[in-house]
Amino acid sequence: MGHDTHKLAIFRGYLKFKSNQQKIWGVLVFLSIVTTIEVFLGIVKPQILMTLFLKVKLINWIFIILTLVKAYYIAWDFMHIRDELSGLKNAIVLPLIILIPYLIFVILLEGDYIFNIMQDGFVSWNF
């Protein structure tokens, strides 16, 4: 079945687990820590992180990056992508990481453009 061949190392081999069950708990601890950091930042909202970078606040960049980190570990360890052949891995991941950023880029650019139109246009939206 090939199921006993779990890859038991995460963080690029920095952290190795003895069994698959241990790895699951390890990943849970990691995901919980990341979520706790997110919630902590969401409640405290440090003023330093409120500066804009590429039109988005630094704190929001941190949230997005942490979300992607969480998504990676859920997909790689809970959904066992780590144990799949590279062909299947690519068939799943490549369409998503090509199409979604493209969609985000196009739509956000358009949203920003419409914001400017409504802001600078001669029509009042607040009557």
Among 15, 33, 50, 98, binds another protein (CB under 8 A): 50
Residue 22 interacts with another protein (CB under 8 A): yes or no: no
| Token pair belonging to 99 | 């199409």
Q: Which of 5, 2, 16, 6 is nearest to 76 (CA)?
A: 6
Cβ-based neighbours of 74, under 8 Å, separated by 6 or more: 31
Using CA atoms of 32, 37, 38, 41 in order, give the dihedral in degrees to the nearest 10: 160
CB 122 → another protein: shortest distance, Å?
A: 16
CB 99 → another protein: shortest distance, Å?
A: 6
Residue 98 interacts with another protein (CB under 8 A): yes or no: no
CA contacts within 13 A on the Cβ side of 90: 3
Enumerate binding residues for another protein (CB under 8 A): 1-4, 20-21, 24-25, 27-28, 31-32, 35, 38-39, 42-43, 50, 57, 60, 63-64, 66-67, 70-71, 74-75, 77-79, 84-85, 87-88, 91-92, 95-96, 99-100, 103-104, 107-108, 110-112, 114-115, 118-119, 124-127
